[in-house]
Amino acid sequence: MRLSEDIGIDLGTATFLIYSKSRGLVLQEPSVIAMARDSKKVKAVGEEAYRMIGRTPGGIVAVRPIKDGVIADEGLTEKMITMFLQKVQGSAGRLFGFKPQLMVGVPSNVSDVEKRAVLRAALNSNAKRAFLIEEPLAAAIGAGLRIAEPIGSMVVDIGGGSTDVAVISLGGIVVSESMRVAGNEFDESIIRYVRRKHNVLIGERTAEEIKVKVGAAMLLDDAENLTAEVRGRDLVNGLPKTISLDSTDVVEALSEPVTKIVDGVKRVLEITPPELVSDIIDRGIVMTGGGSLLRNFDELLRQTTGIPVAVAENAVEAVAVGTGMALEMIPVLGDSLVSSDNYLRR
């Protein structure tokens, strides 16, 4: 490992990713931290903490310190960033006091308070300097789009806590919209649907498994209708119960959040300059983020907008890869970035 290497971070609501320009993607773990309820001492972070969700004793709590794509608990987020960086650096980094330069992806249209919270957390986690880049711009870079050219590109980045829709040209975002509707809202919609229709309570991990195994934004034919057994607690008698769910059920459960995202894409297209809309029709829409992997979501968006839609090959890692690559493009990106050197002095 080079002690001088710089690091890109996708500070995701669901997943925390770290990208090194020299080593590629070096960490991908759940954005979860487990701590003692009374002493606040950290017990675990990442994958180990995620396995504790819903299974902790009374004295330990597993939480997500990032909500809807922004910091909900600054202290815990700082600890989480620090512990993940220590995993990446190893003993050599800690021994020599390695201070990386960080590029952190944040949702578009975040407030000044939220930007300062992210920058403070990054600097307090032993970084020598921190930059912020809007996630759709980072996703476009990570997906290999030519963002510096005078050509319009459209990105729909569906993460865990937020969805960002943006039109990009000349290294910056021309129009964008950020919605607090994404993968976590998909899971919550499934939980509500199962409770309403079957009177059974399931947890967020079970809902996520349902979404991955049989979920879809739409079904193209009957052969795509898959079935899964789901275990939860019967709300009538309190006993364990197993039910069967198929893809048709999940499409119905997800219709509301999926429709909100589709409507957001249409709103951005409506306010995009005509010249850039022409470019988008030619080049298509690129989807990134874990939520874009929902089956047939790209086809639904294509049918709704009439524009070609493609899911990036590295959809989950695109933002993290883009943040790392952006560190090499600071002169090109210019005002599209926020730097801790001047922003925290305001």
Query: Within the chain, which residues score under 70 in pLDDT?
Result: 1-5, 90-98, 343-346
Enumerate residues 6+ apart whose C-beta is below 8 A from 85: 7, 18, 93, 100, 125, 126
Task: Give the pair of three-digit tokens for residue 224.
Answer: 């795509």
> How far apart, in whole angstroms, are the C-alpha atoms of residue 201 and residue 184?
17
For residue 46, say whether it is annotated as part of any ligand binding site: no
For residue 210, say whether it is annotated as part of any ligand binding site: yes
For residue 135, say whether it is annotated as part of any ligand binding site: no
What's residue 336's pLDDT?
A: 87
For residue 161, say whether it is annotated as part of any ligand binding site: yes
What's residue 344's pLDDT?
A: 60
For residue 290, say whether it is annotated as part of any ligand binding site: yes
Q: What is the pTM of this model?
A: 0.89
C-alpha closest to that of 175 among 194, 141, 152:
152
What's residue 97's pLDDT?
A: 54
What's residue 3's pLDDT?
A: 46
Would you call 26 helix, strand, or coil by DSSP?
strand
For residue 299, say whether it is annotated as part of any ligand binding site: no
For residue 209, say whether it is annotated as part of any ligand binding site: yes
For residue 291, say whether it is annotated as part of any ligand binding site: yes
Phi, psi for residue 13 in degrees, rounded to 5: -65, -40
